[in-house]
Structure 1
Amino acid sequence: MRFNDWATRVILISLVFIALSVTILIGEARNLKTETTASPPDAIAWSQYPPAKLQSHPLPVAKSQNLLQSPTKPQQSPPKYETTAAFAKYKPRYLVVAVDPSNYGARYTTDVNGVPVNNQPIIVIHETSNSASSAVNFFQTPHEDENVQASYHAIVALDGTVIYLVPPEYRAFGAGNSVFVGADGEETVQTNANLPPSVNNFAYHVSLETPPDGRGNNFLTAHSGYTDAQYHALAWLIAQSQVPGDRITTHKGVDRSGQRVDPLSFDFDKFMTLLDTYRQVSPVYRTTNQTSDNPT
């Protein structure tokens, strides 16, 4: 075989291998792109900001070592509530917005005096008193003054959009001087020696955007109320929690300053009816409790 013929064959074989390698690399790049974009952005957002589960999660070490930790005892019974088919069909629009760290903090396992606290979660319903965007802007602004710091875990806008602000494992500064009165009596926790005790350590704060006719006047006793979209989105949001109806309250209900009357014109019965539409007592929970109540 002449040298030229041999060299030509070597070159041709090399070109074939190169072409094959390029084809394989292109195929892998396409697969990688498909795998990377397979999870929609909303899945990531929901994972980072669970809607309203109010379950404790390990937190990074911050101003205190007494941070809320995951329960050490195993769960004694299955979850009480489960969402319904109506819940699955309803999908409100949502946004995830970052809040300045000065406006929220850690949940604590002891109060300011070192006394252990283990309050069950409550949900406190507010209204913004102005537009949702105004409230968000305030929460995104750093506040060094502890008397000014404020936030909610979520806001429900007039069109039903759910705006997630503070992840539920953190303590939003939604109620200052406040006490919850429930089946176990008065509940409140003081976590700052310079501020009155409040429900913030065990509360999930969600606020309804105030309608236009209710803004700019601190002396109103009523306004046009909230949209159907807001009621549905609020019920949908809270349906994802295991907080019972008797531990769902309002800012007015827990306030001890005498200055908070929100949410004005809130139809609690309408809200509870919708909540029952979006969640129900789990049959497994019901059966388990019936069995434990009637041992053989």
Structure 2
Amino acid sequence: MRFRDWATRVILISLVFLALSVALLIGEANKLKTNTTTSEPAAIAWSPYPQAKLQSDQIIQEKSQNLLKSPKNNGQSRFRYHTTEAFSKYKPRYLVAAVHPSNYGERYIQDANGVPLNNQPIIVIHETSNSASSAVNFFQTPHEDENMQASYHAIITLDGSVIYLVPPQYRAFGAGNSVFEGLDGAETVETNANLPPSVNNFAYHVSLETPPDGRGNNFLKSHSGYTEAQYHSLAWLIAQSQVPGDRITTHKAVDRSGERVDPLSFDFDKFRGLLDTYRQVNPVYSALPQ
């Protein structure tokens, strides 16, 4: 065989192997891309706050079970609560209303002095003082003055509708000068040297729409109270969280300005009873060493 013929065959064989190698690499890349895409939902961290969307009991339990089985999550996977069948059956009407960016902000990982923050979440229950639509309009209005900036994460209307406002991963401006007194003592965070410290950085703020007889008078001590639908929707919303009962409080309890008394006429026992109907302690959590 002449050298030229032999060299030609070697080159052809090399090209064939090169083509096969490229094809295999493309196949592996596509496979990796597919695996990455399908694994993304499992990598989403579970938020301790109520989520800004409807969630079925099945989705919540599957997500909790998947993370409980994951060796990478350890303490983070020990979810205390799971929702119940009653939660799955209750279907409140829900809406989403965008809040102007001036009225909410990022959650800080350090305070104004650079000290790392590790406060556990709390939920603060408010009332609107006027109609739900009036509150939404205010939150959608730009406010350059920091003393005017305000928002909630959600509002529960008189008919039980849930209006999602600020996504839970963001800091709503629901409380000004405020402190939470819990099992770990007094908790508050200064994020702005020009404003009093507040609980906003670790709080989820949800408000009940004020009944008509409670509007327009800041000196009322009570009013007719909240509707059955409001209590059910409030409990249903908070049931989606991992916030324990001893860290669910009111605006009146955390306020240090002496001006906030909401929510007026709130029946905490009734709310807690409904919350226990919509979520229960996870048996897997109870079995794990604390």
Tell me what 1:126 maps to. 126
Tell me what 1:181 maps to. 181
The answer to whether the aligner puts 1:279 opposite 2:279 as a matched pair is yes
- Matched residues in 2 for 1:264 and 1:50: separation? 28
Q: Percent identity?
A: 81
Tell me what 1:216 maps to. 216
Deviation digits for residues 233-288 of structure 1 (CA, Å, limit 9, x no counterpart): 00000000000000000000000000000000000000000000000001111122
Tell me what 2:36 maps to. none
Conserved? CA contact 1:51–1:164, under 8 Å: no
Tell me what 1:86 maps to. 86
Tell me what 1:234 maps to. 234
The answer to whether the aligner puts 1:49 opposite 2:52 as a matched pair is yes
In structure 2, runs of 5+ residues without a counterpart are 1-50, 56-71
Deviation digits for residues 170-210 of structure 1 (CA, Å, limit 9, x no counterpart): 00000000000000000000001110000000000000000
* Amino acid across the alignment from 1:259: E
The answer to whether the aligner puts 1:150 opposite 2:150 as a matched pair is yes
Aligned length: 224
- Matched residues in 2 for 1:124 and 1:286: separation? 26
- Matched residues in 1 for 2:193 and 2:106: separation? 16
After superposition, residues 20-169 of structure 1 pair within 5 angstroms as 49-50=52-53, 74-76=73-75, 77-169=77-169
- 1:75 shift after superposition: 3.5
- Matched residues in 2 for 1:150 and 1:121: separation? 19
* Amino acid across the alignment from 1:173: F
Structure 1 residues 166 and 51: alpha-carbon distance in aligned structure 2, compared to 1, 3 A threshold: farther
* Amino acid across the alignment from 1:227: T
Deviation digits for residues 57-110 of structure 1 (CA, Å, limit 9, x no counterpart): xxxxxxxxxxxxxxxx83425210000000000010000000000000000000
- 1:148 shift after superposition: 0.4
- Matched residues in 1 for 2:83 and 2:247: separation? 18
- Matched residues in 2 for 1:51 and 1:102: separation? 26
- RMSD, aligned CA: 1.6
- Matched residues in 1 for 2:188 and 2:54: separation? 24
Deviation digits for residues 119-173 of structure 1 (CA, Å, limit 9, x no counterpart): 0000000000000000000000000000000000000000000000000000000
* Amino acid across the alignment from 2:246: D
Structure 1 residues 124 and 246: alpha-carbon distance in aligned structure 2, compared to 1, 3 A threshold: same
Conserved? CA contact 1:50–1:167, under 8 Å: no
Structure 1 residues 256 and 262: alpha-carbon distance in aligned structure 2, compared to 1, 3 A threshold: same
- 1:49 shift after superposition: 2.8
- Matched residues in 1 for 2:270 and 2:213: separation? 21
- 1:50 shift after superposition: 4.2
* Amino acid across the alignment from 2:52: Y
Tell me what 2:261 maps to. 261
In structure 1, runs of 5+ residues without a counterpart are 1-47, 53-72
Structure 1 residues 201 and 50: alpha-carbon distance in aligned structure 2, compared to 1, 3 A threshold: farther
Superposition TM-score, scaled by structure 2 size: 0.75
- SS at the partner of 1:163? strand
- Matched residues in 2 for 1:51 and 1:90: separation? 11
After superposition, residues 1-20 of structure 1 pair within 5 angstroms as none
